Amino acid sequence: MLHDLPLSGVVVVELSDSASAPFAGRVLAALGADVWKIERPSGDSARGWGPSKWKGSGAAYHALNRGKRTISIDIKDRDQLMTLHQLIAEHADVFMHNLRPGSCGQYGLDADSLRVTKPELVYCEVGAFGHVGPLNTLPGYDPLMQAFSGIMSITGEEGQAPARAGVSIVDFGTGMWAVIGILSALYRRRVKHCGASVNCSLLETAIAWMTVGIANYNVDGEPGGRHGSGVAFIAPHRAYETADGHLIVSAANDPLFARLCAALGRPEWALDDRFALNSARLKHRVELDRLIGERLITEPRSVWQARLQAAGIPVAPIQTTAEIVGHEQTSALGIIETPPDDEVGLVGLPLSFDGRRTPALHAAREIGADNEVLARMLKTRPERP
């Protein structure tokens, strides 16, 4: 077990709700930071998300808020707001929030106000549409940004309604960018002894996920289309139906395609002018997919998976949540962790240090569980080194 985590000694005050900033705080906690989560008295919205519940709160809340201290503060109450300011001034290295855009100034929680008394504070604002521009004051959520950024225009099956990714890629991606920005600012502070304001947003993250699509558009003016489980620029690189399930098959270059053809018992396809090069395969994608599909449907998924893996072809079955949770590879990685003070296994960080995973975090706590701890700490007013 790791005892000297990278962020040990760093104090983070997280005034957050929902998913993006809480995910960032959960990552920082797993890296060793002492994270103080500030909730309004009614609690984080994620506590009410369903349908899965555990100890009175949505499973999502537990997934996003393990490892944190939890205090309840109503920032509209002057005395409670002063308590928050005292916590930041006396103890915080990092203050992170995802308040409604433009609202933090009225509470003195904007970067300029806080850094008057604490110039080395790392301040991170997790926004919706970004901190500048004509839409910067609008609220936003993951599906709005998947729509607005163009992600949904290239997701799903051609001819069908646009589809959202089944997981909150924009929320979690924004949390990751927040962590990257915070870590960079902490490193600079260590070297240059100055604070920083870090801004990230759901929209900027969503646009970043469109990096290749936007590059393609700027080159040829084509907006891209929907390719289901496939992609616009590689063929074959998608799911095919077998006799008892679906299998993703990826031949991302011409030599791999030739090996795929041999493994399928159709080596002549690799010599066919329609399919020999990726550029040609893209033009004849429909015919190629039909031929591969007709071959794969003849035998079970496990047979094709074994055969193609033996040939060095990248393949993967489309698994359910139950299958990935129960898979031996998931177990070997140890990424689903159950801490001693809880009974529910939740996903840990997808990181290891020196071959070892960070320790399991303690369970998410009830609203205001650490208010008394905070009161005692602020009363004693310990000196920071």
Alpha-carbon span 302 to 316, nearest angstrom: 10
Three-state secondary-structure class, residue 86: helix
- Which tokens in the block code for residue 116? 């008057």
- Which tokens in the block code for residue 17? 């709700």
In sequence order, the β-bridge partners of residue 197 are 123
In sequence order, the β-bridge partners of residue 70 are 37
The kind and range of the H/E element at 188 are helix 169-192
Alpha-carbon span 232 to 224, nearest angstrom: 7
Task: Give the distance, in angstroms, between the CA of residue 82 and the centroid of all CA atoms in the same chain.
Answer: 33
142 part of the active site: no
Alpha-carbon span 133 to 186, nearest angstrom: 27
Q: Which of 93, 142, 171, 342 is catalytic?
A: 171
* Sign (positive or negative) of CA dihedral 109, 113, 115, 118: negative
- Find the radius of gyration of the CA atoms of the chain: 25
- Which tokens in the block code for residue 133? 């521009």
Place of tokens 């070297």: 191
Question: How far from 29 is each of 34, 64, 142, 272, 361, CA to CA, in Å?
Answer: 6, 11, 23, 55, 8
Contact 198, 182 (CB under 8 A): yes
DSSP string for 295-329: HHTTS-HHHHHHHHHHTT--EEE---HHHHHH-HH
* Sign (positive or negative) of CA dihedral 114, 116, 117, 121: positive
Alpha-carbon span 356 to 242, nearest angstrom: 38
- Which tokens in the block code for residue 215? 């590059």
Contact 95, 67 (CB under 8 A): no
Alpha-carbon span 229 to 362, nearest angstrom: 37
The set of catalytic residues is 171
